[in-house]
Chain A
Amino acid sequence: MGYKASEQDLIAYLYGELEGIEKESMEQYLREHAEAREELEKLRQVRTTLSHVQDKEVIAPPIFLGDTGQRFFGSIPYFKTIVSIAASLLIVLMAAKLSGLQVRFADRQMVISFSGGDQIKAIEDKTPVPSITSAEVNELIHSALDENNQALKTSWTETQIKLDASITNNLAANSARIDNLVRESSAASQEQIRQFVAGMQAENMQLVKNYFQLSSNEQKEYVESLLVDFAKYLQQQRNDDLQVVQTQLKSLQQNTDVLKQETEQILTSIISTVGNSTSIGVKN
């Protein structure tokens, strides 16, 4: 006792890969456990179903391999990459050599030059070092500032004078021009307004006249047509009423006729029944 079949054992047994004691234990276990037998049967059925898969027929294509002896360097991984990097470095170095590229770092400055580094250095060496005291510098600055201020002041006064003159000139010229313009316009406008108002009044009068003329004509026509329509309507209504009265009279007449006939029939029937009963009574 104590043996419990695992999934692995079950699968191994299913494929006949259990041997010796393991196989016997499994068989014993299966005999004792119905659910394990059922499980095994299910798996067996799946296997049976899977056995219906057919293999595909295929013809092996010829496989050619190149001469394996020739693949020394080319087959080394990254060989091409390394070689190309090396080649580009070589090209850069060659170009630098040919163009006389020089890179130096000295006295906290980096110098990159194409065969001209010495000249720069020479120029740098020749530049004289100025020796002025701070007082002299201050004096120089002050004098320069004074000169500058003086020049600015003179230019300001000049420009101000010019501006004032031009403004007064402009004002005088403009005011004269504006006065003339205003006078002309006022003179012209009074005359024009009178003419315009007169024209407007005439036009308005004409318009109002036309309008009244037209509207009175239209109203007349409209009232006439309205009267005619109303007359027609009345005539029609009278005809309709007459027809209605006529038909009602006819129906009344018919009704009375029918009533007359019915009373006649009733009377005859009463008379005949009375006659019969009296004759029967007589007979009896």
Chain B
Amino acid sequence: MMHADSLISRAKDGDQNAQGKVVQLWYKRIYNFSYKFFLDHDLAMEVSQKTFISMCKNLTSLQDNARFKSWLYKIAVNYCREEARKKKTSRSLSFDVVWNRDAEDSPQWESTSQRFDNPERQLQHQELSEVLQEALLELNDEQREVVIMKEYEGLKFREIAEVLNISENTVKSRMYYGLDGLRKILEKKNINKETIGYGI
């Protein structure tokens, strides 16, 4: 995903139209990052909205437009951590846990780009996707945020280090142990090349 420098410059100048376009451009990425972090739609929406409200308010403090991506993810990571803290302290049961939203919503393939794909195959894809995200949730927060940013958001190790305010080597270390941990979790869940090949 690319962003135009001029768009960010205009947004920084207070052009609400440009700000809206930036939100449109980045919303899906931030939502998916938060969703993978929590595996919870409501929390992901909460974090995304807070991130973009904060972005619009504080865009003027961004000095280097080239660092917009890491700056934006920094805000998102901070909100994710805040929500995770809240979630740990409050033991309330989310309504989504009680109400199976997926069972009532229309199937996923209707809204995805692969809507013309074979529905059965699409469902298998979806199930695998969910299992993998559950595996991701078993990692600790530090490893999970690095794995998501690297694997799904395509940030460079340098950018992740900037987002998390840690050294590049620490990021690589977390990534290594994150992937290694995932390998073990997937082995435990009996997900490997063969089972995926059979299923899909």
Contact = CB atoms under 8 A, between A and B. Distances in A.
Contacts of A58: 27-28, 31-32, 45, 48
A158 interface: no
B23 A63 contact: yes
B92 interface: no
Contacts of B113: 57
A63 B112 contact: no
B43 interface: no
Nearest to B191: A49
Given A57-B112, A58-B31, A15 B150 contact: yes
B68 interface: no
A78 to B, nearest CB: 19
B50 to A, nearest CB: 10
B197 to A, nearest CB: 11
Interface stretch (A5-13, A19-27, A84-92, A121-129): A5-13
Interface stretch (A30-38, A40-48, A177-185): A40-48
A47 B23 contact: no
A54 B68 CA distance: 25
B78 interface: no
B17 interface: no
A279 B46 CA distance: 132
Interface in A39-92: 42-43, 45-58, 60-63, 65, 68
Contacts of B182: 46, 50
Contacts of A57: 28, 111-113
A46 B28 contact: no
B176 A11 contact: yes
A13 B169 CA distance: 13
A52 B111 contact: no
Interface residues of B, number: 50
Interface residues of A, number: 29
Given A50-B151, A52-B132, A55-B28, A10 B53 contact: no
Contact of A56 (B35, B151, B176, B183): B35
Interface in B115-134: 125-126, 128-129, 132-133
Q: Is the interface of B mostly helix, strand, loop or mixed?
A: helix
Contacts of B52: 60, 63
A238 B69 CA distance: 121
A53 B36 contact: yes
Interface in A120-164: none
Interface in B17-56: 19-20, 23-24, 27-28, 31-32, 35-36, 41, 45, 48-49, 52-53, 56
Nearest to B169: A8
B62 interface: no
Contact of B196 (A12, A49, A55, A60): A49
A53 B28 contact: no
B196 A7 contact: no
Given A45-B193, A49-B191, A56-B35, A65 B173 contact: no
B154 to A, nearest CB: 10
A46 B183 contact: yes
Given A52-B125, A60-B23, A60-B28, A7 B172 contact: yes
29 contacts: A7-B177, A8-B172, A11-B176, A11-B179, A12-B172, A15-B150, A17-B157, A43-B179, A45-B183, A46-B186, A47-B151, A48-B193, A49-B186, A49-B191, A49-B193, A50-B132, A50-B147, A50-B182, A51-B151, A53-B132, A54-B112, A54-B125, A54-B126, A55-B28, A56-B31, A58-B45, A61-B49, A62-B20, A65-B53
Given A56-B35, A62-B20, 13 more contacts: A7-B173, A7-B177, A12-B157, A43-B183, A45-B192, A52-B196, A52-B200, A54-B112, A55-B28, A57-B112, A57-B113, A63-B53, A63-B56
Interface of B: 19-20, 23-24, 27-28, 31-32, 35-36, 41, 45, 48-49, 52-53, 56-57, 111-113, 125-126, 128-129, 132-133, 136, 147, 150-152, 156-157, 169, 172-173, 175-177, 179-180, 182-183, 186, 191-193, 196, 200
Report, nearest first, the 7 A-B pairs whose CB atoms are least far apart. A60-B27, A8-B172, A7-B176, A54-B129, A58-B31, A11-B172, A11-B176
